[in-house]
Amino acid sequence: MTDPADVTTASTRAWIAPALALFTSTGTLLCCALPALFVALGMGAVVAGVVTSVPGLIWLSAHKALVFGVAGALLVIAGGLQWRARNLPCPADPRLARACMRSRAIAKWVYVLAVLVYLVGAFFAFLAGSLLL
């Protein structure tokens, strides 16, 4: 019989990786997608104000290949962990089983959101500029 603590630990690990991937892919959105969108919409003053308030965004933009590389690696790791955890048993207790299944569903949607944010950021960081020229 599977120890419920092992299942809970594995389920938690499977949920943490997508959350970290979402965090890093949000960084790609902040460094590249939102500033490009604001400039494209004629809101360059907003970008200037945000960069003045948060100077760390300049570093993120200057090192966008590193930012996207780390975010992409975390997305791959999170996807692999979710793939591995998809068939892990949930506890026999109905309450814990519901929590386990809910946690898996949340982790799946967090991962999908992280991938979408990453793709939007990648489009604006690497493709939008060349399409507009």
List, for residues 10-42, the tens digit of each pLDDT value.
556 656 777 777 777 777 777 777 777 777 778
The predicted pLDDT at position 11 comes to 56
The predicted pLDDT at position 81 comes to 82
The predicted pLDDT at position 26 comes to 74
Q: Quick one: average pLDDT of 105-127? A: 85
Asked whether the beta carbons of 22 and 110 are under 8 A apart, the reply is yes
The string over 45-84, giving b where at least 16 C-beta atoms fall within 10 Å of a residue's C-beta and e elsewhere, is eebeeeeeeeeebeebbeebeebbeebbebbeebbebbee
More confident residue, 118 or 61: 118
The predicted pLDDT at position 95 comes to 92
Q: Is the model's pLDDT at 1 over the cut of 50?
A: no
Task: Give me the half-sphere count of Cα atoms (radius 13 Å) on the Cβ side of residue 103.
Answer: 24
Task: Please return the burial class of 128, using the count of CB atoms within 10 Å of its CB with bins 0-12, 13-18 and 19+.
Answer: middle
List, for residues 38-96, the tens digit of each pLDDT value.
777 788 888 888 888 887 778 877 888 888 888 888 888 888 888 888 888 888 889 98
The predicted pLDDT at position 18 comes to 73
AA letter at 131 = L
Global pTM value: 0.71
